[in-house]
Amino acid sequence: MKMTVLKSAIAGLALVATGVMAEEGTVGFEINGDIPIVTRVPAAAHLDGALSEAISGWEYRDSSTQAMQMDDFDNPAMLAVEQAAEVWNTAMGTVGKSCADCHGDVNESMIGIRATYPKWNEKAGEVRTLAMQVNNCLTENMGAEAWKYDGADMAAMEALISIPSRGMPVNVAIDGPVASVWEQGKEMYYTRYGQLELSCASCHELNYDNLIRADHLSQGQINAFPVYRLKDTGLVTTHGRFKGCVRDTRAETFAAGSPEFVALELYVASRGNGLSVEAPAVRP
């Protein structure tokens, strides 16, 4: 653990040097007393002033939920992380290889990965989420079956892969080959879906920090995903959360892993550029 922290600190420094402004943000808390988490950061220029600050969902949770996220011993997501660590080392599929056979120690090879996804995959010529990348390894490199996009296995693996990036600034690219997908996601963010005619922005841009019934609205950032949801006693993926929010507008939702949700994920991730990776976080 010590080693990992040191490495991610070094990786973090390298990113700062290339212009990610982690030093501009406010450290809201530390995980395990040694991973500083930036929970407020000046909003990225590409938001054109739509937000003045990007703010982590952690800020809107009550103090007992916040505390569970501050110590891995209290974070119920860590059970799934441990299970995924075993899966990481287990040979799967016809090729007879494990993740570790190609990627070695997850805490070294996956440093910084969670912070830059979704991102362009040159060979495939498409924007890939972390979950797509995992499924691609399973089917193309291991001869195994793909996992359910927003199922428990995938959520746990995403949580494991997030650990070595905790504390690093989210730094998703929005230009070059991903630009049109990012634009698609942006348009979705402002589309008023369903019979209630509410967009993501209706709740998470115009009304964050307001109560809607008993819920304290956050900015709907995804730097903390997958999250452990106490109500569901399990991990919730980004697309799982998107499905719930679209359903709550009395709309026909999109499928987890659909091109639409991939585009929306890229756009929503970019709204949080500069916030620290917090996954796996805890939610009520």
Partner 1 sequence: MKSIIQMAVGLAMVGTVAMAGEVAPDDVAYDEYGAVAVSLTGVAGDPANGIKIMTERSKGNCIACHQVTALAEFPFHGEVGPMLDGVGANRSEAELRGIVANAKITFPESVMPSFYKTHGYIRPGDAFTGKAGTEPLPPLLTAQEIEDVVAFLMTLQD
Q: Which does 253 bind (CB under 5 to 8 A by kind): partner 1, ligand HEC, none?
A: partner 1
In DSSP notation, 51-75 reads -SEEE-GGGGS-HHHHHHTT-TTT-
> Which residues are paired to 198 by β-bridges?
193
Stretch 77-116: interaction string toward partner 1, x if CB under 8 A: ----------------------------------------
Q: Minimal distance in Å, beta carbon 246 to ligand HEC?
A: 5
Contact 162, 222 (CB under 8 A): no
Catalytic residues: 245
Tokens representing residue 243 in the block: 């499905």
Should residue 233 be labelled a site residue for partner 1 when binding is judged by CB under 8 A? no
Q: Compute how many residues bind partner 1; rule: CB under 8 A.
A: 25
> Which residues are paired to 192 by β-bridges?
none
Integer Cα distance of 30 and 95 in angstroms: 41
Sheet strand arrangement including 281-283: 234-236, 227-229, 281-283
Q: Which is nearer to partner 1, 170 or 246 (CB)?
A: 246
Stretch 241-270: interaction string toward partner 1, x if CB under 8 A: --x--xxxxxxxx-----------------
Q: Which whole-number Å values give the CA distances from 92 to 20, 73, 97, 159, 194, in the listed order?
A: 38, 29, 6, 19, 41
Stretch 143-182: interaction string toward partner 1, x if CB under 8 A: ----------------------------------------
Among 48, 213, 231, 233, which residue interacts with partner 1 (rule: CB under 8 A)?
213
Residues that bind partner 1 (CB under 8 A): 191-198, 202, 206-207, 210-214, 243, 246-253
